[in-house]
A and B are shown apart, each in its own frame.
Chain A
C-alpha cells in the first residue's frame, strides 16, 4: 500500500513566523497534494504538483507556497503564519497514469496539526 509520511506531526507557531511542513512518499506517484482540513469539515486543496520542480495552485492558495524538489518530496510553506491558518494539513499522493484500475485514488499521510498563536 502507498506510504506517505509527514513531518512534523504537530507544531505550534507564532503569528508572523515561517512554517514549513514536509511530505515524503515512497510509491513513485506522479501527483502530490496539500490539503487543509478544519475541524469536522471536508478537505480543501491548497497546492498540488504533477512533476518535480513544478507546482500548481488549488482552491485556497493565498498565504501558502509549495515546493517539489523531487518526485518523492513536497513541502508546504507558510511565510507569515496567521491565526486563521490553524488547522490540520494533509499531504496526499496519487498515480494518475491512465489505465490504472484505481485511477485517481489518493493516499493520505497522517496529517500535521498546526496551531498558530
Chain B
C-alpha cells in the first residue's frame, strides 16, 4: 500500500521569501506526481504535476522529482499572502482505480 508523507506539517514564511515543501512516497512504480492547493473553506485544486524525473517550472512555482529517492518537492518563489493555503501532494499509479493517493498536507502561512 502506497504511503505518502509530507513535511513540514506547517510553516510560516515572510512575504517575498522562498517556500519549500516536501513529499515522499513508498512505491517506486509511481508514475504521476501532483501538487494541489486548498485555500481555507474552498475545494482542493490541482496546481502542478510532473511525470518524469527532473524539474518543471510554471511562473513562481517549481516542482522537483527524484524517483530514485522517492521524493518530490514544490518550491514557491517570491511567496505572496495569496499563497497561504493547505498544500497537498498526491501520487498516482497508471494502473488501478485508486488514481491519486494524497499526503496529509502542509499548511503555509505567508506573513505580509
Contact = CB atoms under 8 A, between A and B. Distances in A.
Contact of A96 (B42, B88, B99, B107): B99
B44 A108 contact: yes
B98 interface: yes
A57 to B, nearest CB: 11
Contact of B42 (A48, A50, A94, A110): A110
A111 B40 CA distance: 12
B88 A43 contact: yes
B92 interface: yes
B43 A98 contact: no
Contacts of B99: 31, 33, 48, 94, 96, 104, 106
* B contact patch SS: strand
B46 interface: yes
Given A105-B49, A110-B43, 17 more contacts: A40-B107, A42-B6, A42-B102, A42-B104, A45-B98, A48-B97, A58-B98, A98-B94, A104-B32, A104-B34, A104-B92, A104-B100, A105-B46, A107-B46, A108-B43, A108-B44, A108-B45
Interface residues of B, number: 23
Interface of B: 6, 32, 34, 42-46, 49, 86, 88, 90, 92, 94, 97-100, 102-105, 107
Given A31-B99, A43-B102, A102 B44 contact: no
Interface residues of A, number: 25
Interface of A: 31, 33, 40-43, 45, 48, 50, 56, 58, 90, 94, 96, 98, 102-111
B89 to A, nearest CB: 9
Given A42-B103, A96-B99, A109 B46 contact: no
Nearest to A44: B102
Contacts of A96: 97, 99
Contacts of B94: 98, 103
A48 B44 contact: no
A56 B102 contact: no
Contacts of B34: 104-105
